[in-house]
Amino acid sequence: MANELHDFDKAYASGRTPWDSGVPSLELRRVLDAGLLPGRRVLELGCGTGTNAVELARRGYEVTAVDFVAQAVEAARAKAGAAGVKVAFHVGDALNADVGGSFDLLFDRGVYHHCRRVDLPGFMKMVERVTRPASRWLSLAGSAKETHEYGPPTVSEAEFRAELGGLFEFLEIREFRFGTDSEAFRPLAWSILMKRK
Ligand SMILES: C[S@@+](CC[C@H](N)C(=O)[O-])C[C@H]1O[C@@H](n2cnc3c(N)ncnc32)[C@H](O)[C@@H]1O
């Protein structure tokens, strides 16, 4: 993960973080409002500056969140402090960080779509370790139906069905558009809600 950490470190240091819209994901909020994420303990993989971890904590979840960029987690800690909520933040590689487990819920926005390209077996081993049968996972991932020169990594429906379907049942698959730090750029994405078999 050394190269990837370096790239994300540089992105946060330079402020080139288009995914960091500063507002909670509308798609996450829709799924929460629909009552599709039952449980208490949630793990957010690759939490960035913590906007969604804070939203989850505000809604009463016991939130653990991990990211390997120290600067991002520092900002996330400050955001949680300002919001008056408690989140257990960890700096480390999500694939082998000691975050406790297993969790009722797993959430990632833009992390599966990245990690699958680096070490899919390692990523899936971690997902198996931090979940148990009936745990749910909401993954928000770039869609391969649209290509961009500078957009997020993408995955096709056939790919995610093949990669995730062994361990998870698909409860809901929807298309939506990622919010970014620019109104003009809203890349097509998958909202993949799963339940561990
Ligand atoms: C596209 S950004 C999304 C950040 C955040 N989820 C959001 O929606 O704002 C991907 C995030 O995952 C983190 N990340 C990527 N691979 C990781 C890994 N193996 N372990 C921990 N964090 C990772 C990056 O540092 C970055 O913050």
CATH number for the domain that contains residue 55: 3.40.50.150
Q: Residue 72 C-alpha to ligand 1 middle, in angstroms? A: 9
67 lines ligand 1 (CB under 6 A): yes
112 lines ligand 1 (CB under 6 A): no
113 lines ligand 1 (CB under 6 A): no
Q: Mean pLDDT by 10-residue block, N- to C-terminus, for the chain (197 residues)?
A: 82 94 96 98 98 98 98 98 98 91 95 96 96 98 90 96 98 95 90 98
b/e sequence 149-185, b meaning 16+ C-beta within 10 Å = eebbebbeeeebeebbeeebeeeeeeebebbbeeeee
Tell me which residue has its CA closest to atom 9 in ligand 1. 20
Q: Residue 86 C-alpha to ligand 1 middle, in angstroms? A: 20
Q: What pLDDT sits at residue 147?
A: 83
Q: What is the DSSP letter of 63?
A: E
CA distance linking residue 41 with residue 143, whole number of Å: 28
Tell me which residue has its CA closest to atom 8 in ligand 1. 109
Spatial CB neighbours of 15, under 8 Å, sequence gap ≥ 6 = none
Query: Does the predicted TM-score (pTM) go above 0.85?
Result: yes
CA distance linking residue 41 with residue 66, whole number of Å: 14
CA distance linking residue 47 with residue 69, whole number of Å: 10
Number of domains in the chain: 1
**CA-1 nearest atom, ligand 1:** 19
Tell me which residue has its CA closest to atom 23 in ligand 1. 46
Spatial CB neighbours of 38, under 8 Å, sequence gap ≥ 6 = 104, 136
Tell me which residue has its CA closest to atom 27 in ligand 1. 48
Domain that holds residue 189: 2-196
